[in-house]
Amino acid sequence: MEILLTFTHYVVLGLSLAAPIGPMNLEVIKRGITSGFLQAWYVGLGGLSGDIIILIGIFFGLHQVIELTYVQIVMYVVGIFMLGYLGISSIKLAFSKATNLYRQEEITKQGNNAYLTGFLIAIANPLSLFFWFGVFGTSLKVLMEVNSTIISLVCSFGIIFGLFLWNLNLCFTSHFSKKIMSERFMRGITLLAGIFLFGYAVNFVYHLFQLLA
């Protein structure tokens, strides 16, 4: 029973960590509204794959690599271009002159890179990486001090399962919400998502200049 309660605690922790609005959630919401459940789900799966790789890296103590300056520079540069591109694409889509903003050819175009987009957002976000290393690294240290490696792995899986549940919830919510949204409202959400994504890219530029200085 104690193991089950501990596992549940880490599932809730995974849900809590995934819930705050960031680049990943914004992209999932945008895809769910513009391209449907599957494309949002592919983005979420890509992000989840990236998170799993990060958590595995933390488990095996690879935090030293992230602390290298040139590694951080590369991640910031990739993150700037990735989020900047997504932001500009969303803003352009919101102002598209097409009468049917979410036409099939646009859905197909966006769906071609959905998984890769989610994966890159997850692993090319230095701030997210530092956050994971801080929160999960600390939790893992506490876990392994009082539990066996197996139990620590099970609890780590609880965090991943929490991330999975949140992504699933977000995909369903964004997809089915669009059925009650007007075209103007969906354009507004797409525009806001684009602005925030581009804002994250600008924030990365600021942190990059601080790092280089």
Separation CA 7–CA 143 (nearest Å): 11
Q: What is the mean pLDDT of residues 173-180?
A: 76
The reported pLDDT for the residue numbered 112 is 58
Separation CA 106–CA 34 (nearest Å): 8
The reported pLDDT for the residue numbered 104 is 47
The sign one gets for the Cα dihedral 104, 30, 176, 95 is negative
Residues 54-66 pLDDT 10s: 878 777 766 666 6
Residues 112-164 pLDDT 10s: 588 888 898 888 777 777 777 766 666 666 666 666 767 777 777 888 888 88
Q: Quickly tell me which residue has 């690294």 as its tokens.
A: 137
Pick the residue with more confidence: 99 or 112?
112
Average pLDDT, the chain: 77
Separation CA 144–CA 150 (nearest Å): 9
Task: Give the ranges where 60-148 is alpha helix by DSSP (H).
Answer: 63-66, 69-94, 104-111, 114-123, 126-146
The reported pLDDT for the residue numbered 18 is 76
Separation CA 101–CA 127 (nearest Å): 33
**Two tokens, residue 87:** 């932001």
Q: What is the mean pLDDT of residues 186-203?
A: 84
Pick the residue with more confidence: 101 or 62?
62
The reported pLDDT for the residue numbered 32 is 83
SS3 153: helix
Q: What is the mean pLDDT of residues 177-197?
A: 78
Name the band, by pLDDT with cuts 50, 70 and 90, for residue 109. Answer: low
Whole-angstrom Cα Rg for the chain: 18
